[in-house]
């Protein structure tokens, strides 16, 4: 049942959580710090979610997975080691998960192999996450959580496919759907009308949306608007909006400032049982607008196949795929058979990059449920990355398991592909938050683990306390050490195949180090990945990659926002070919919470 939220703000470690507090604020962090979260299923997806939630700072994380560790688990479960094979997944994972955040205790519900989660086990938690659990069990648990005010999320990944379902109850209140600063602007007129039209100063875009609420200050003439109860907005154009009946108010004379008022939003979630029949899809790619409906039936068919046969479909096996397609067509006669067949082909696939995407998304949904900040996903997410498949698909023979830690990847891409990436040579520029995630994914997929493979890392920074909140390869004992060296050692421990394959140094990229990163260096690599925190270094690396004709992976984050760009020589534009529009200037004060330019520190 809900736990008391009387938590002193001083208890929040601002040194550790500084970046997160900037995005979420104290109130949301306090709500998170009163939430106990249960995660069922500790393969790659479960541990990714658990890692993210533990770093974020909930009250506690409890894990449940009594099944024994297999060698195939090592394809994506970065907290398991070869010596853990045969142990309970939860038991083997717990010590390494507990190291992430001393403020978040990690508990193990125990259990014996073959034991499934039950309603009794999920009582006492504010949020429950089921990973890779069959639909029959999902329905049983969700029937109870929906009735008892417990937030429920189910998620799974199958090769290049992922699925997430949210149910935060019949009446969930989101206190701040966007998390953005309230919009404000100057106005030049308000009409006296049944639908009072407000016009902004000098054709300044107001940025409001239908359904937003505003109040006013400094209005002359129509003074009743000053400090009024929030009025609902209907947008009429980029510079105008209406605020309801103003016909009984005074005559507007001049001036005035509108300020957006953040209003709580009530969201009604349907139970899983109801949603399977009348689903509400969260579309992530409008180029695949009809894909969610096909995958909605496909994932259910996959679960039924698993229940009937006590196994998943075999990789690239036509008979098993035909059986899954038949089950899917019984659910929805209009499914795209090719997509369902591909889902069946990849059902045993276990890909760390896909797990990072879905796991990061689910962890964010858990934090939304606990903090009530940011609009949750409603209600089914189906995601695929079939574009990642090669033009020539692997054969059934090429995808057979060989008893290795890479079997989950071989099931999707085949052994020949695995050999190719094992001999890949990559240069990672920066080993902070994004860099740590890249290295973790690379170690899981076996990048550069072959005879010719190599990973170069450079980062001149040392580890500080605020890094520990989101750069998960670092621990408190590493404070003051060089990021590149600690990160290299951490991922080599995750996958011993990388021992001796990662070269770390502290030479920054730039004109002064072109003697280090020279033509011979670039000739010895296949590509570059940027994990930088400033535009100047990004542009410099982009220029070097254009000059040496090397592919570049570019990415960045800012709070809850992120971007990626893939730059391929002679195929795509380069990073420097386009630039972001200038930020809105704030003449009175340019101070930022985390300055990265001189003008950010000037008042």
Note the helical H segments in 446-583: 483-494, 519-523, 535-548
Distance CA 484, CA 427 (A): 12
Give Cα separations from 146 to 61, 126, 143 (angstroms).
21, 12, 6
Catalytic residues: 589
Question: What's the pLDDT score for residue 480?
Answer: 92
Dihedral over Cα of 235, 239, 243, 248: its sign: negative
Which own/partner pairs from 548-556 qualify as long-range (CB within 8 Å, at least 24 positions apart)? Answer: 548/519, 548/522, 548/523, 550/522, 550/525, 550/526, 551/526, 551/527, 552/527, 552/528, 553/527, 553/528, 553/529, 554/530, 555/434, 555/530, 555/531, 556/434, 556/532
Identify the three-state secondary structure at position 213: strand
Predicted confidence band of residue 3 (pLDDT cuts 50, 70, 90): very low
Give Cα separations from 406 to 38, 83, 160, 186 (angstroms).
28, 17, 15, 59
Residue 205, by phi and psi: left (phi above 0), alpha (psi -120 to 50) or beta?
Answer: beta
Question: What's the pLDDT score for residue 196?
Answer: 95
Helix (H) or strand (E) holding 441: helix 433-445
Exposure string for 546-564, b = 16+ CB within 10 A, e = fewer: bebebbbbbbbeeeeeeee
What are 61-113's pLDDT values in tens digits?
999 999 999 999 999 999 999 999 999 999 999 999 999 988 899 999 999 99
Identify the three-state secondary structure at position 21: helix
Predicted confidence band of residue 599 (pLDDT cuts 50, 70, 90): low
Closest CA relative to residue 326, chosen from 284, 362, 297? 297
From 245-249, 401-405, 465-469, 511-515, the region with the lowest mean pLDDT: 465-469
**458, two tokens:** 């450079």
Identify the three-state secondary structure at position 221: coil
The total of other beta-carbon atoms located within 10 Å of residue 306's CB is: 16
Asked whether 233 and 227 are in contact (CB, 8 A), the reply is no
Residue 565's Cβ-side half-sphere holds a number of Cα atoms within 13 Å equal to 20
Asked whether 193 and 267 are in contact (CB, 8 A), the reply is no
What are 158-198's pLDDT values in tens digits?
999 999 999 999 999 999 888 888 999 999 999 999 999 99
Question: Which residues have C-beta within 8 Å of that of residue 237, sequence separation ≥ 6?
Answer: none
């Amino acid at each position: 049942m809900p736990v008391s939220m009387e938590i002193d703000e001083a208890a929040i470690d601002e040194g550790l959580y500084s970046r997160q507090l900037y995005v979420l604020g104290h109130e949301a962090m306090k709500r998170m710090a009163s939430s106990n979260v249960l995660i069922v299923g500790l393969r790659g997806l479960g541990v990714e979610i658990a890692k993210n939630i533990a770093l974020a700072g909930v009250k506690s994380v409890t894990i449940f997975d009594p099944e024994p560790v297999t060698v195939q688990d090592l394809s994506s479960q970065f907290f398991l080691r070869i010596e853990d094979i045969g142990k309970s997944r939860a038991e083997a994972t717990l010590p390494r998960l507990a190291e992430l955040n001393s403020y978040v205790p990690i508990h193990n519900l125990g259990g014996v192999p073959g034991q499934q989660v039950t309603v009794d086990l999920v009582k006492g938690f504010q949020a429950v996450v089921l990973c890779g659990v069959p639909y029959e069990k999902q329905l049983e648990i969700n029937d109870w959580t929906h009735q008892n005010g417990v937030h429920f999320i189910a998620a799974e990944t199958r090769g290049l496919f992922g699925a997430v379902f949210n149910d935060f109850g019949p009446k969930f209140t989101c206190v701040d759907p966007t998390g953005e600063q309230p919009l404000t602007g100057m106005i030049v007129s308000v009409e006296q009308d049944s639908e009072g039209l407000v016009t902004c100063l000098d054709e300044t875009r107001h940025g409001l949306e239908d359904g937003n609420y505003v109040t006013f200050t400094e209005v002359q003439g129509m003074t009743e608007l000053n400090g009024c109860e929030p009025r609902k907005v209907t947008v009429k154009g980029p510079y105008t909006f209406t605020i309801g009946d103003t016909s009984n108010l005074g005559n507007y004379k001049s001036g005035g400032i509108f300020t957006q008022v953040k209003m709580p939003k009530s969201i009604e979630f349907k139970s899983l049982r109801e949603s399977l029949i009348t689903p509400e899809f969260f579309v992530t790619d409008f180029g695949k607008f009809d894909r969610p409906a096909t995958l909605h039936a496909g994932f259910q068919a996959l679960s039924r196949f698993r229940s009937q046969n006590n196994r998943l479909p075999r990789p690239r096996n036509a008979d098993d795929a035909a059986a899954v397609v038949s089950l899917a067509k019984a659910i929805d006669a209009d499914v795209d058979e090719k997509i369902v067949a591909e889902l069946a082909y990849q059902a045993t696939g276990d890909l760390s990059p896909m797990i990072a995407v879905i796991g990061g998304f689910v962890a964010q949904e858990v934090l939304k449920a606990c903090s009530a900040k940011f609009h949750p996903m409603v209600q089914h997410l189906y995601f695929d990355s079939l574009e990642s498949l090669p033009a020539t698909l692997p054969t059934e023979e090429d995808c057979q398991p060989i008893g290795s830690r890479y079997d989950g990847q071989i099931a999707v891409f085949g052994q020949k592909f695995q050999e190719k990436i094992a001999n890949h040579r990559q240069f990672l520029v920066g080993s902070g938050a994004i860099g740590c995630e890249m290295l973790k994914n690379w170690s899981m997929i076996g990048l550069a683990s072959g005879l010719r493979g190599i990973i170069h890392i450079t980062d001149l920074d040392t580890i500080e306390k605020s890094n520990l909140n989101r750069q998960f390869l670092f621990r408190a004992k590493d404070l003051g050490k060089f990021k590149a060296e600690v990160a290299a050692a951490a991922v080599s421990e995750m996958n011993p195949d990388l021992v001796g394959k990662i070269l770390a140094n502290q030479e920054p990229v730039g004109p002064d180090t072109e003697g280090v990163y020279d033509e011979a260096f670039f000739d010895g690599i296949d590509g570059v990945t940027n994990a930088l925190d400033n535009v100047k270094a990004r542009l410099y690396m982009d220029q070097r990659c254009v000059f040496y004709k090397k592919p570049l992976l570019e990415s960045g984050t800012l709070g809850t926002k992120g971007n990626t760009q893939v730059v391929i020589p002679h195929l795509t534009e380069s990073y420097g070919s386009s630039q972001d529009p200038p930020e809105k200037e704030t003449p009175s004060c340019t101070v930022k919470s985390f300055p990265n330019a001189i003008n950010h520190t000037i008042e």
